[in-house]
Amino acid sequence: MAHGPPAVELEDLRKTYGNLVVLDRLTMRVAAGGVHALLGPNGAGKTTTVRILATLTRPDSGTARVAGHDVLRHRRQVRRAISLAGQHAALDDGQTGVENLTMLARLAGLSPSAARQRAAALLERFDLVEAAGRRVRTYSGGMRRRLDLAASLVGTPSVVFLDEPTTGLDPRSRQGLWEVIGDLARAGVTVLLTTQYLEEADRLADRITVLHQGRLAAEGTATELKQRFGAQRLELVWRDAVAFEQAAQRLGDRVTHRDPARRELSVTTDGSAPDVRRLLDDLDPDQHGVVRFTVREATLDDVFLTLTGRPTGAPQEVANV
């Protein structure tokens, strides 16, 4: 990641809607270059944060700067430095791919010839050359998202906000978009990504911020967060339902996961051989109850549950804020 002034700075940012506090004195910084993921359950404030940074929503108090520009006092400079790709592709279905990009390039102030050149370069970059002459209404979901991302780069921004960019995409299209996002970061663009796919954040992000109830719950690399808030776990499969229930009663609140249908129980462990051996001896002293066990590494799901208390995407009072 690049050194120097941060690409994004928030300090004591607050936003309310009526009695609902969406952002509660949020302070965070995003270094220039690379991918920074913003995680949180529905209603945690992710989309509101992006909208404030993109100058689409005014905060009630606090400050926010993008590329060194205050989002309230220097809106024009901020908008020149950024691009935003939201959850739904903002494209004209009646135009072709090349017509969409050329039109946006002209709106950005490029001459007709420069606009055509910019459109051609973006179509090639996003592997859309063969579909360039087709109307967008005929594009697949993955192609539409790639074209939408291409459209967001017409003006060569230094900071790109991607709000749930792979929502609704099939695994193959999601993988393709991940590659594009990685290419952007390697080219020096700062990408701020909001997502509810924890695998996506784990795969792409150089650093991760977790929001909960409008506040910063934790920040760090995926590895750092797993070490601080996750835990390795010992997954045990029991011989029958009786052994399963007896073990569950003995463990009590030490159980981190239970699946009666599969007779699976999980408990935390440090992953070392002595600790695993001790747990097995304690839980199955006669060696007749456990038929199989596995030691699992901590995941971002574990981190998320520890910090927010519920799975990603769980409903909350107000969604998509």
Most confident among 110-119, 230-239, 271-280 (mean pLDDT): 110-119
Query: Would the pLDDT of 1 be above 70?
Result: no
| H or E segment to which residue 286 belongs | none
* Cα Rg of the chain, angstroms: 24
Across all residues in the chain, what is the average pLDDT?
88
Query: Would the pLDDT of 319 be above 60?
Result: no
Q: How far apart are CA 206 and CA 202, in angstroms?
A: 9
Look at residue 145 in the predicted model and tell me its pLDDT. Answer: 85
Tell me the whole-structure pTM to 2 decimals. Answer: 0.76
Look at residue 209 in the predicted model and tell me its pLDDT. Answer: 95
Tens of pLDDT, residue by residue over 168-190, are 778 888 888 888 889 889 989 99
Tens of pLDDT, residue by residue over 148-160, are 888 988 888 999 9
Look at residue 3 in the predicted model and tell me its pLDDT. Answer: 57
Query: Mapping DSSP to helix (H, G, I), strand (E, B) and coil, where does residue 26 land?
Result: strand
Query: Mapping DSSP to helix (H, G, I), strand (E, B) and coil, where does residue 179 land?
Result: helix
Q: How far apart are CA 31 and CA 228, in angstroms?
A: 22
Q: Which two tokens stand for residue 287?
A: 């060696």
Look at residue 296 in the predicted model and tell me its pLDDT. Answer: 82
Residues 6+ apart with CB under 8 A from 199: 300
Q: How far apart are CA 244 and CA 168, in angstroms?
A: 38
Query: Would the pLDDT of 163 be above 90?
Result: no
Q: Which two tokens stand for residue 138?
A: 């005929």
Per DSSP (E only), the strands in the chain are 8-17, 20-30, 34-39, 61-66, 69-70, 82-85, 159-163, 190-194, 207-212, 215-220, 232-238, 255-259, 264-269, 290-296
Specify the residue for token string 């010992």.
Answer: 234
Domains of the chain in sequence order: 8-227 (3.40.50.300), 231-297 (3.30.70.920)
Tens of pLDDT, residue by residue over 2-55, are 456 899 999 999 999 999 999 999 999 999 999 999 998 888 999 999 999 999
Tens of pLDDT, residue by residue over 93-107, are 999 999 999 999 999
Tens of pLDDT, residue by residue over 195-209, are 888 889 999 999 999
242, with CB counted inside 10 A (0-12, 13-18, 19+), is: exposed
Tens of pLDDT, residue by residue over 204-259, are 999 999 999 999 999 999 989 988 887 788 899 999 999 999 888 888 888 878 89
> What residues does 190 pair with on adjacent strands?
34, 159
Look at residue 189 in the predicted model and tell me its pLDDT. Answer: 92
> Rounded to whole angstroms, what are the CA distances from 198 to 141, 296, 304?
21, 17, 9
Residues 6+ apart with CB under 8 A from 45: 15, 22, 23, 26, 211, 213, 214, 321
